[in-house]
Amino acid sequence: MATSQASVYRERPFLAVSLSHFFVDVLNNGRNLLVALLAVSLGLTNAQVGIALLLYNVGNALSQPLFGWLADRIGARLLVIGGLGWMIVFYAIASLAGDWPALIALTVASIGSGAFHPTGTMVASRTSVTYRSRITALFFMAGQIGLFLGPVLAGFMLDAYGRPGYILLPVLALTALASSWRWLNDAPPIHKIHAHVAAKTPVVTKTAPSASTTQLSRSGQAVSHPPHFWRRVIVLSLIILAGSTASIAIITFTPILFTEQGYDQSLIGWLSGLIMMGSAVGGVVGGTLGDRFAGKWVILLGLIGSIFPYYFFILASVPGQAGLLLLAGFFGGMPHTILVIMVQSLLPKQQAMASGLALGFMFFSGAVGSYFVGLIADNSGLAMTLQGLALLPLIAVFIAIWLPSQTHK
């Protein structure tokens, strides 16, 4: 079993999309330091920063279900390569252009992230059925390590060379582009796989489900949703909304708070990156636990564990902030893989589109929530507003109790 598991981790398509995910999120999270600098240079308010984040996520999040739908039909290769290539071009422009063109380029780059995430997730989740939660968590871990190192590397580059130094990151991302070009092949679209299996499966006549829970598929066959289907949709949506708003707002506004408090860019990069390092480890721990226990309990553990560090990191000294931000990322990252796989289980024949819906809603709802966090911060103070975000995982705990107890794969 150990040998089989180790061989799964060496699959070249999995390695290619994981390396690409790493660089996609190096660029994505290094962007926060660029936005913080541009916000100071352009005199943007916290609400305006929230609008900039919202616009970024309109391109990133709302495009993901569309790209996922497309990947289910044409395969992942073109979208993985094209998405990363698009980001490389526009982040290079953002490194060298004037302030307003740079902000526009950072927003346009989001479309590449939207193309990559659902397609890369589909490739990773199909790598192994036996270790599906774990292998998907490792794919997300690659991105979260990128989210950790993005602001760290960006901080060093910005301190040493100013904004033009950021161009080193898109240049390094060319290595991932080359590996995806060489190693990534398109798997058969998943609807064709199911059609092939169905052709070999004997037809069994069953009693038709009630009209209240039945829809017609494109082929005219009855497709029923279990009675708890819509309850799961609503509960998962509310959990994602609360968790994403808290985590994205902290990731977005913490660099601005620390910049206002006079921290240097390298220190801000390290503190911002620690959130994502914790999230990377927490995501793998959560995915591993999700292969053993019901996902509901992993989600509850992550939500409960994140409340304390969310509340107290504002009050701590710099060493305490480092430890608490690491813990905030760890517990906040634990539910991530489980939530995506739960959404995939709702649409088992459209996994890329399901991944796009889950990830897109995470990014978009977090961005919308962060806009309102910015509005509140302009009136109540940024530090107090960030501290109040601890209420969101607390509320989500009571919502998560309504999740079904069985594990969904």
Is the distance from CB of 293 to CB of 407 less than 8 angstroms? yes
As a whole number of angstroms, the distance between CA 243 and CA 240 comes to 5
First vs last Cα of the chain: how many Å apart? 20
Strand 214-216 relative to strand 222-224, pairing: antiparallel
pLDDT tens-place string over residues 14-28 = 888 889 999 998 998
12-42 and 265-290 are packed helices; what angle lies between their axes, rounded to 10 degrees? 140
Identify residue 56 by its one-letter amino acid code: Y
pLDDT tens-place string over residues 74-126 = 777 888 899 999 999 999 998 888 888 888 898 888 889 888 888 887 787 77
The pLDDT of residue 128: 60
Element holding 344 (H helix, E strand): helix 336-346
pLDDT bracket for residue 353 (50, 70, 90):
confident
The candidate with the shortest Cα–Cα distance to 91, out of 19, 34, 20, 38, is 34
As a whole number of angstroms, the distance between CA 330 and CA 275 comes to 8
Collect all residues with Cβ–Cβ distance below 8 Å to 394 and sequence separation of at least 6: 303, 307
**Mean pLDDT lowest among 103-107, 264-268, 332-336:** 264-268
Residue 390 reports pLDDT greater than 50: yes
For the residues 352-378, what does the mean pLDDT come to?
A: 80
12-42 and 229-260 are packed helices; what angle lies between their axes, rounded to 10 degrees? 50
Query: Exposed e or buried b for every residue in 317-342, given b needs 16+ CB within 10 A?
Result: eeeebbebbbbbbbbbbbbbbbbbbb
State the SS3 of 162-202: CHHHHHHHHHHCHHHHHHHHHHCCCCCCHHHHHHHHHHCCC
CA 306 to chain centre: 17
% pLDDT > 90, the chain? 15
The pLDDT of residue 92: 93
Q: How far is CA 174 from CA 57, 109, 152, in A?
A: 24, 15, 19
Identify residue 250 by its one-letter amino acid code: I
Residue 325 reports pLDDT greater than 50: yes
In this prediction the pTM is 0.64
**Structural domains present in the chain:** 12-189+227-400 (1.20.1250.20)
pLDDT bracket for residue 363 (50, 70, 90):
confident
CA 146 to chain centre: 12
Query: Exposed e or buried b for every residue in 115-131, given b needs 16+ CB within 10 A?
Result: bbbbbbbbbbbbbbeeb
Element holding 27 (H helix, E strand): helix 12-42
Q: Report the helix count and the strand count for the chain, using DSSP H and E.
A: 19, 2
For the residues 338-366, what does the mean pLDDT come to?
A: 77
As a whole number of angstroms, the distance between CA 67 and CA 70 comes to 5
The candidate with the shortest Cα–Cα distance to 358, out of 60, 56, 64, 29, is 64
Element holding 214 (H helix, E strand): strand 214-216
CB atoms under 10 Å from CB of 388, counted, come to: 17
Provide the CB-side half-sphere exposure for 299 (13 A, CA). 31
For the residues 376-384, what does the mean pLDDT come to?
A: 87
